[in-house]
Structure 1
């Protein structure tokens, strides 16, 4: 049994969107939990098995998977016939893994640093900067309609979710803006976002 521990309007929302996009919502139990919020509301939920009380957290027959990119990879591998993943040996597998990892290893740290107004040569040498990150995105999107190839993948859902919750970060780069719009306007993504407005 697959169970996703989810807090509405959080990083786990993109996992719910992926589940609906994949058409496997009848095969994944979604358990809503509370989490501590940055505005001071919420609290750690004892029903959530995540060791830090965070979301998303996926549990499959007792095995726990944490972090959005790992969960997306796990789900797309588990439901291997789904086009939102790229199977081992497929031409786009390397790009797919790279973009999933790039989100958590590069883009999200850059976003957090921007929000916290942190700047240091060591940080820039390690993570580059948002301008460089935008260049990487633009380069990929001048070759294909989506990051891996011409078909949307979970990597697109993960990375474009940034502009869903922080639209002010959208760069004025047509290729990125158009791609993000294509991703965020998909029926499953819009439906879950609309559904969660009622619990905001």
Structure 2
């Protein structure tokens, strides 16, 4: 049994989706970000960064959404969400997982929380974030155009879940990810999966369903 500390619509979505795809038992514990619960002593004892998700695995807390996704695919290989170690497409899989975690996802922090960096330059930082995000969509769309329809070709994987979660975050941006046809097609595929529909029910989400 896993326990997932989450807030609806956050990076915890990826962990939640992977749990659902793996078909394993888990418990959800909501963290009220608006009330500052992520900064409480009790939560910081689990996740010193004060972020979500936190996943309790064998009684121990762990964080970082990309790391948790990799961990779950390793613990539940029967779900087929990642190439096995040594498989020909393992390198491509790892490349995209780290690209999303290290290049695309941080761009959203620039966009949404620009004033946390340099308050006097928030507008410029947000604009840099927007440009960074759109450049990432260009690169991912080009990859899908040449190697799709999924990020690993014909094979669905956790990378697709990660991409579409981040696509959702762009839904109200000046140029959302769905402006790229191959990305829009990938989102349609992922959003049709039972895991996406179940997550929306359990997290009580409605936007971009």
TM-score, with normalisation over the residues of structure 2?
A: 0.78
| Equivalent position to 1:176, from 180, 183, 186 | 183
Quote the residue 2:153 is aligned against: 149
Q: In structure 2, how many angstroms separate the alpha carbons of the residues matched to 1:170 and 1:131?
A: 8
In the TM superposition, structure 1's runs of 4+ consecutive aligned residues that sit over 4 Å from their partners are none
**How many residues are aligned here?**
190
2:93 to 84, 92, 96: 96
- Mapping for residues 181-192 of structure 1, pairs under 5 Å: 181-192=188-199
Whether 1:22 and 2:22 are equivalent positions in the alignment is: yes
- The change in CA–CA distance for 1:131 and 1:5 in structure 2 (over 3 A counts) is closer
Q: Structure 1: which 5+ residue stretches go unaligned?
A: none
Superposed displacement of residue 62, structure 1: 4.4
1:50 aligns with 2:47: yes
Matches within 5 A, 1:102-181: 102-115=99-112, 116=114, 118-119=123-124, 129-142=132-145, 143-168=147-172, 169-181=176-188
Q: Which has the higher contact order (CA 8 A, sep 6+)?
A: 1
**Displacement of 1:178 after TM fit?**
0.9
Contact 2:96 2:159 in 1 (8 A): yes
Unaligned runs of 5+ in 2: 115-121
Tell me by how many angstroms 1:2 deviates.
Answer: 3.7
- Give 3-state SS (helix, strand or coil) of 2:8's partner: coil
Whichever structure has more helix as a proportion of its residues is 2
The aligned counterpart of 1:5 is: 5
- Given that residues 134 and 171 in structure 1 are in contact (C-alpha distance below 8 angstroms), is that contact kept between their aligned partners in structure 2? no
TM-score scaled by length of structure 1:
0.81
